[in-house]
């Protein structure tokens, strides 16, 4: 049975008070929109249509970044959730099977819940995701009789008696695509808000003799983001879930409350994460690695047995092979470190490849940027880079070579050679003492002058 997704993401999100469209605000380092897409994608949808309006160009870009096959349709004026769904109709005219409507600002709906809705379609033509609200506030209320859903009434249009109902509408709806669009095409906007309410399709369906039902989920799943305060609470909930999942998967978190995950962080079993570690997007860590305190990682891969930090920064394109050691105050960007490489202290490696078992001395820098272009540094296996070596790229250091401490390497170093590129040392006997006497005298004269 094939399924398509319609993601509503046209709203302005006025209460975010932001130039950024609401659905692009980040949660776990990923736009809210990606969370909804992530849950939906687990159903292996035939087609995904995002309905965009405010900031449509940005929303389209973010949708395509998630999956290039996503289609985006413009809802120029936001005339209501029913009107928004109708915009997707031309793109899904030939869609066989079911369509599920999700909101781009509702990040926590679980894949399992969506599957339960699809299963419930065996019993009902239209399935709505509902929840028992602790504080029903302004949510739409579900009017049921027994196992069937009769209609949904929006808060604005509800009587006091209806407002007393606590079973609320999450907004997620599932029906056969053709049924959904047929119902949506019949919607009117004669209501308190003057909007085309998607929720009115329930009463329309029932009037046509179609059955409608409710799948109930936990209220936490339906949490929508409308304000920055809600976003911060959602972030806390997201982090709590990721921490719990990591520990269940066999990852040790020394101080879970200070580990920050991204939506796509993947960490293998028996890896240990020290306190105050932040994961940006696209980090994968294999089993048995160790990330020590105060590291910031994004866009990188860390292999089995590697150790990183404390105080290390791995930026996009950092690839650490097995048993690599990256120590304190080291920054690595777009660089591949082969097995057993050691970069212990105070180093920047950017746009580089380092061969296996090479040792990079403290204070080494790959000078990769000339002010306009980036250049590559190639370091062979079993090389010893002396402390405070400047590697002015493009440059190659051959296998089993060495560089002298403090060298500025501007020319390629052949395999097995020692390169020394620094001023030669000269010793001047007694000069230190004579100089110091002179400096002390200058100081004393100056102080006398002040009195
Ligand atoms: C909607 C439901 C309500 C439900 C609540 C759950 C309707 C009429 N009401 O109300 O029953 O309890 O969600 O949160 O459906 N959107 C568009 N285009 C539009 C209007 C909305 O894309 O023209 C998008 C918004 O960006 C948002 C979502 O649809 O992501 C929901 O819209 P919103 O205005 O927040 O609906 P609610 O009034 O909260
Ligand atoms: Ca809302």
Q: What's the pLDDT tens digit per position in 304-363?
A: 999 999 999 999 999 999 999 999 999 999 999 999 999 999 999 999 999 999 999 999
Mean pLDDT of 45-72: 97
Query: From CA 193, how far away is CA 266, in angstroms rounded?
Result: 44
Tokens coding 165 = 């109902």
Question: Of 38, 345, 353, 357, which residue is the catalytic one?
Answer: 345
User: Does position 111 have pLDDT exceeding 90, yes or no?
Assistant: yes
- Residue 121 banded pLDDT, cuts 50, 70, 90: very high
Q: Which residue's alpha carbon is at the smallest distance from atom 11 of ligand 1?
A: 140
Q: Which residues contact 413 (CB under 8 A, 6 or more apart)?
A: 395, 396, 397, 398, 401, 403, 419
SS3 (DSSP) at 419: strand
Query: Residues 268, 286: contact at Cβ < 8 Å?
Result: yes
- pLDDT, one tens digit per residue, over 34-54 is 999 999 999 999 999 999 999
User: CA-CA distance, 383 to 366, in Å (whole number)?
Assistant: 15
Domain range 3-222, CATH architecture: Alpha-Beta Complex (3.90)
Amino acid 234: pLDDT: 97
State which ligand 1 atom lies nearest to the alpha carbon of 106. 30
**pLDDT score, position 87:** 98
Examine the pLDDT at 176 and tell me if it is beyond 90: yes
Counting atoms of ligand 1 from 1, which one is nearest the CA of 80? 23
The reported pLDDT for the residue numbered 1 is 79
Tell me the C-alpha to C-alpha distance, in Å, between residue 404 and each of 26, 244, 312, 348: 46, 48, 25, 18
Residues lying with their CB under 5 A of ligand 2, a single-atom ion: 224
Quick check: helix, strand or coil at residue 145? strand
pLDDT at position 166: 98
Q: What percent of the chain has pLDDT over 70?
A: 100
- The domain limits of the chain are 3-222, 228-419
Q: Is 345 a catalytic residue?
A: yes
> How far is Cα 253 from Cα 7, in angstroms, rounded to an integer?
35
Q: Give the integer Cα–Cα distance in Å for 363 and 119.
A: 60
| pLDDT value, residue 137 | 94
pLDDT of residue 359: 98
The token pair at 238 is 């997201």
pLDDT digits (tens, 9 = 90+) for 9-29: 999 899 999 999 999 999 999
Centre of ligand 2 from the C-alpha of residue 50, in Å: 17
pLDDT-derived band at 451, boundaries 50, 70, 90: confident
pLDDT, mean over the chain? 97
- Residue 178's pLDDT band (boundaries 50, 70, 90)? very high
CATH number of 228-419: 2.160.10.10
Tens digit of each residue's pLDDT (9 = 90 or more) over 383-409: 999 999 999 999 999 999 999 999 999
Average pLDDT over residues 55-68: 97
| Residue-level pLDDT at 12 | 87
Is the CB of residue 138 less than 8 Å from the CB of residue 157? no
Tell me the helices (H) and strands (E) count for the chain, helix number first. Answer: 9, 34
Does residue 450 register a pLDDT over 90?
no
416 — pLDDT class (breaks 50, 70, 90): very high
Q: Which residues pair with 266 in a beta bridge?
A: 284
Tell me the mean pLDDT in the region 404-430.
Answer: 98
Ligand 1 neighbours by CB, cut-off 6 Å:
8-11, 51, 53, 75, 78-81, 83-84, 103-105, 139-140, 152, 154, 168-171, 197-199, 224
Do 257 and 274 contact (CB within 8 A), yes or no?
no
Query: Which atom of ligand 1 is found nearest the CA of 197?
Result: 8
């Amino acid at each position: 049975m094939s399924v398509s997704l319609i993601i509503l993401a046209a709203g302005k999100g006025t209460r975010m008070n932001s130039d950024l469209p609401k659905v692009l605000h980040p949660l776990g380092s990923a736009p809210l929109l990606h969370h909804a897409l992530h849950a939906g994608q687990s159903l292996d949808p035939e087609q995904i249509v995002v309905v965009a309006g405010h900031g449509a160009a940005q929303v389209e870009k973010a949708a395509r970044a998630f999956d290039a096959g996503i289609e985006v349709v413009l809802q120029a004026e936001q005339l209501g959730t029913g009107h928004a769904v109708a915009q997707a109709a031309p793109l899904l005219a030939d869609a066989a099977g079911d369509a599920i409507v999700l909101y781009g600002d509702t990040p926590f709906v679980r894949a399992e819940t969506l599957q339960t809705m699809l299963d419930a379609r065996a019993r009902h033509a239209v399935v709505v995701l509902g929840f028992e609200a602790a504080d029903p506030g302004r949510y739409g209320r579900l009017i049921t009789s027994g196992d069937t859903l009769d209609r949904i009434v929006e808060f604005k249009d509800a009587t006091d008696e209806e407002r007393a109902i606590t079973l609320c509408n999450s907004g997620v709806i599932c029906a056969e695509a053709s049924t959904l669009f047929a119902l949506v095409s019949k919607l009117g906007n004669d209501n308190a808000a003057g909007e085309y309410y998607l929720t009115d399709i329930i009463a329309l369906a029932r009037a046509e003799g179609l059955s409608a039902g409710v799948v109930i989920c936990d209220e936490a799943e339906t949490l929508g983001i409308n304000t920055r305060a809600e976003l911060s609470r959602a972030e806390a909930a997201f982090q709590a879930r990721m921490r719990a999942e990591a520990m269940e998967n066999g990852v040790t978190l020394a101080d879970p409350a200070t580990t920050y995950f991204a939506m796509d962080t993947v960490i293998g079993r028996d890896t240990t994460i020290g306190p105050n570690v932040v994961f940006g997007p696209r980090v994968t860590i294999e089993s048995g690695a160790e990330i020590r305190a105060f590291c910031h990682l994004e866009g990188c891969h860390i292999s089995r047995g590697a150790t990183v930090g404390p105080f290390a920064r791995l930026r996009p394109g950092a690839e650490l092979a097995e048993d690599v050691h990256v120590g304190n105050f080291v920054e690595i960007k777009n660089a591949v470190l082969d097995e057993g490489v050691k970069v212990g202290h105070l180093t920047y490696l950017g746009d580089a490849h380092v061969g296996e078992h090479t040792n990079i001395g403290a204070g080494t820098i790959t000078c990769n940027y000339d002010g306009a272009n980036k250049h590559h540094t190639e370091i062979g296996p079993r090389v010893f880079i002396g402390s405070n070596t400047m590697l002015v790229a493009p440059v190659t250091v051959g296998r089993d070579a060495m560089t002298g401490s403090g060298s500025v390497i501007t020319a390629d170093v052949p395999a097995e050679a020692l390169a020394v590129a620094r001023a030669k040392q000269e010793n001047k006997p007694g000069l230190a003492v004579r100089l110091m006497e002179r400096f002390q005298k200058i100081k004393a004269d100056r102080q006398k002058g002040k009195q």
